[in-house]
Amino acid sequence: MQANLFTHGVGLGSALVLNQSYEPLCVIPVKRAAVLLLTRKAETVTPGDGFLRSETMHIPVPAVVRLNRYVAIPRQVGASPSRRGVFTRDDWRCVYCGSSAETIDHVVPRSRGGTHTWDNVVAACAPCNHRKSDKTLAELGWRLPRVPRPPSGWQLRGFRGQRRPDPAWEAWLPRHGKERARLS
């Protein structure tokens, strides 16, 4: 079935793909999501704004699609954190002041024996990173709002290159920030 679809009233964006079990898998372009729908490999869970139209078809733009078959995915997060992975885990926000993050910081400085691991690397803004320098949090009297941990697989798979998730996806994404403990 070949259809030349075009959009009406919408700028093409991205769609969240859910596994058959409703687990977030990845984010794909809306055009790819439309192909999954047309080939009956997925179904629309949450429609987006606008429509995809052709001469013979008219379908809502998908915001969230669910695969009709279960896809097994690996559950491994690399031992060494990537810059993008740290920003994604920390929601592109400085963990010290909450402003927009632009650098990464080692909680225990490497000059003092700190490691480059998920539990020691956080996102930070340039002023906070400069102010912290090679000092420890105790020396500055600072506290982290949450314990740095490796990100879940969905965080790394789903948001490569994207800073903020679509609001239509929120119901399907785990609430990672609320389950983290506070540091003293």
CB within 8 Å of 139: residues ≥ 6 apart: none
pLDDT at 162: 52
Token pair of 61 as six digits: 């733009």
- What lies within 8 Å, CB to CB, of 183 at 6+ separation is 143, 144, 145, 146, 147
Sign of the Cα pseudo-torsion (21, 22, 23, 29, in order) = positive
pLDDT in tens, the chain (184 residues): 444 444 444 456 889 999 999 988 888 899 999 999 999 999 999 998 888 888 888 889 999 999 999 998 766 656 688 888 888 888 889 999 999 999 999 999 999 999 999 999 999 999 999 999 999 999 999 999 988 988 766 666 655 445 566 788 878 876 644 433 332 2
Query: Which domains are seen in the chain, by residue range?
Result: 1-73 (no CATH), 83-140 (1.10.30.50)
- Quote the Cα angle for 64-68-150, to 5°: 60
DSSP string, 85-108: HHHHHTTTB-TTT-SB--EEEESS
Calpha distance 123→102 (Å, rounded) = 7
pTM over 0.85: no
